Chain A
Amino acid sequence: MTDSHHSVSGAEAWSARRRIVVSCLLALHLAAVVSAPWAGPPPSPQLAREVQSLFRPYQVLAYLNHGYRFFAPDPGPSHVVRYEIELPDGRRLQGRIPDPATDWPRLAYHRQFMLAETLYNCYTQVPQEAAPETLTAQQKQEWQQQASASRELVQRLAEAMGRQLLLQHGGNRVRLYLQEHLIPFPEDVEAGMRLDDPGLYQNVAEFGPFERGAS
C-alpha cells in the first residue's frame, strides 16, 4: 500500500508495547466493523452470524451495526402513507407522508420518508397467514408470540404517526393507508406516464381510525 500521507520528521514514536495493545484494539474494532455487513441483511453464512453475535453488543453501543446495502439488491418501490383526517367542523383533510410540498428542508422530508418505509418494513414482518401445521406445539406458540409482537409494533407505530397528524392538524379522527409506489417501466415513461401516476400506487394496508385523546 502506498500513499503520501505521512511524515516522520520530528514526530512522536510509540513504544512496542503501546503499539501491540492498540493493534489488538484495532483488530477487534475492525472485526466488529466488518462482521456487521458480513452477517446481514440476509443472505449470510451462519459463520458470519456467529462471529457477529460476539461483537453485537459493541456494534450496538457504538452504532456500527449496519449492512450498508444502499439501493441493493435492486432499487425497489418506495412506500408512502396516505392519510385522511376528520376535522371538528366535519371537513376531511387528505395528505401524504412524505409530502414534498410541505416537508422542508429536504432532510426533514427524508426523515418522514424513512418513517413510511419503516412502517412498511414492520408490516412485512407481520405474518398474514396462520402458523404452519408442520410446527410443533411449542414452535407454534413461539410463532404466535412473535406474530403478536410484530402486529403490536406496527399498530403502535401507525398509531403514533396518526396521533401526531391529529395534533398537527387539530383533527378528531384519522385513517392511514400504507401504499407501495411502483417504479414505472422506461417504455411507459417514454409513452408519457408520470412518475406519480395514480395507477402506480397500490394499497398495502390500512390503519385506524385513531381518535384524538383515545389510546
Chain B
Amino acid sequence: MRAYFAELGRTGWQQWNRFWFTPADPATLGLVRLLAGLILFYTHFVWTVDLLGFLGPAGRIPVDVAQRLQRSELAWSHLYWLSSSASGLWVAHVLALIILLMFVLGLCTRVTSVLSALIAISYAHRATGALFGLDQVNGFLALYLAIGPAGAAYSLDAWRARRRGAVAAGAAAPQVMANVALRLIQVHLCVVYLFAGLGKLLGQSWWAGTALWGAFANFEYQTLDMTWLVSYPLLVNLATQTILVWEITYIVLVWPRLLRPLVLALAIPLHLGIGLAMGMMTFGLAMLVANLAFVPPQLVRAVLDPWLGSAPGGAGQGARAATRAG
C-alpha cells in the first residue's frame, strides 16, 4: 500500500512537471495573441458606437447599478472614476483602444499584454448588465496572454529585435511560461465546456433533443433563418445531443493526440453555427481562438511561417528575439 502511494506521488509529480513545466515553442501563443487581441480590440471598439449611452454620466448603466449588480466592492474598474466626466471617459477609452491595438501588433507586449488584461477586466466590471459569454472568454484569454510571452512570435517586438541585430535567425527558443500560459487556456477551456455541458443536463430539452430548436427559434438571437429545421426533427435531435456529448466529453477527449483533431474540428461548426445563426460571431470566434491553444506550434509554423516568415515578427526569423523583448 505504502509503495503504491509512493509510486503514485512520484509519477503524479513527474506528470505534473511534464504537463506544466516543459518549455514550449511560443508560436501557438503568438498566434492566439494576434487573434484574441483582434477580438479584444473589436469588442472594445464597439463601445465607441455608444460609449456615453452605456457608460457615460447619463448612461444606461449608472455606476451604482453596476456596483450593486456585482455585489462586491472588489469588482474594480478605472471607469468608475471617469463615469461622471464625458471627456475623461473618452480619453480613457481612446487610450485603451491604442493599448489594445499595440497588443494586437505585439508592440511592447510585456507591458501592453498586462494592460490589455486590466482593460478587459475593468470594462467588464463597469459594463455589468450588458455582458455575455464573449466577455468571459475575453477575460481569461487576456489574463493568460498577460502572464506568458505572448509577444515572442508574430509580433513587432520580434521584428524590432531582429532589426536591431540582437539575435540570429532561427526557431524561437522554447519557454516554460509559453507552456504555462497555453496550458492555462487549455484547462480553463475544458472547465468552461464541462460546466456548459453539465448545466445542460438539468434541462429537459437537451435530454429530449429539442434544445437546438429553442435556440434557433429565438427571434432576439436570430440572424439566420433556421426555422426550416422544423421539417427535420431528427436532425435537431442529432445536433442537440452531439453538442451535449461534445461539451461534456471535451475535457477527456481533447487530450489524446489521435482524437484531438476530431474534437477541435467539431468546435468549428458549433461555434461558427452559433456565430452565423444566432448573431454571436464575436463570441464564436473567441471560443475558436481559445481552442487554438491546442494546436501544436509545429502546425502553426507550417501554416504561418511561409506567409509571415519574412514579415514583421515572423516567427521563423524573429521569435527568439521576441523571447527577450516580450
Contacts and interface: CB of A to CB of B under 8 A. Distances in A.
B97 to A, nearest CB: 15
B23 A6 contact: yes
Contacts of A112: 130
Interface residues of A, number: 80
B179 A5 contact: yes
B33 interface: no
Contacts of B222: 195
Interface string A17-51: 00100110010011001100110000100000000
Contact of B133 (A6, A70, A113, A186): A70
A41 B120 CA distance: 23
A164 B214 contact: no
Contacts of A160: 58-62, 65
A66 to B, nearest CB: 5
Contacts of A111: 46, 54, 127, 130
Interface string A61-91: 1111011111111111110100000000000
Given A37-B191, A61-B76, A183-B217, A108 B50 contact: yes
A132 interface: no
A12 B215 contact: no
Contacts of A109: 279
A104 B64 CA distance: 27
A33 B140 CA distance: 10
Interface residues of B, number: 98
Given A30-B187, A61-B76, A12 B176 contact: yes
A63 B124 CA distance: 8
Contact of B217 (A22, A26, A104, A195): A195
Contacts of A9: 174
B182 interface: yes
Contacts of A164: 53, 58-60
B174 A110 contact: no
B130 A115 contact: yes
Given A64-B139, A73-B199, A118 B69 contact: yes
Contact of B25 (A7, A60, A74): A7
Interface in B1-27: 15-17, 19-25
B227 A189 contact: yes
Contact of B192 (A68, A80, A156): A68
A164 B28 CA distance: 44
- Tell me which of A22, A149, A200 has the highest count of chain B C-beta atoms within 10 A of its own C-beta: A22
A128 interface: no
A12 B58 CA distance: 53
A88 to B, nearest CB: 18
A78 B180 contact: no
B191 A74 contact: no
Contacts of A7: 23-25, 174
A8 B23 contact: yes
A169 B74 CA distance: 36
B84 interface: no
A72 B217 contact: no
B214 A33 contact: no
Given A4-B296, A6-B179, A11-B23, A19 B17 contact: yes
A74 to B, nearest CB: 4
B174 A74 contact: no
Contacts of A38: 195
Contacts of B176: 11-14
A183 B213 CA distance: 9
12 contacts: A5-B25, A5-B296, A11-B174, A11-B175, A62-B121, A70-B199, A72-B200, A78-B219, A107-B282, A111-B130, A118-B130, A181-B220
Interface of B: 15-17, 19-25, 28, 42-43, 46, 49-50, 53-54, 58-62, 64-65, 68-70, 72, 74-76, 120-121, 124-125, 127, 129-134, 136, 139-140, 143, 173-176, 179-180, 182, 184, 187-188, 191-192, 195-196, 199-206, 210-215, 217-223, 227, 230-231, 233, 255-257, 260, 279-282, 294, 296-298
The 3 A-B residue pairs with the shortest CB-CB distance in the complex, in nearest-first order? A73-B203, A72-B199, A11-B23
Given A6-B174, A10-B174, A38-B195, 13 more contacts: A1-B255, A19-B21, A26-B20, A33-B188, A68-B195, A74-B205, A74-B214, A75-B215, A105-B49, A107-B134, A115-B60, A160-B61, A164-B58
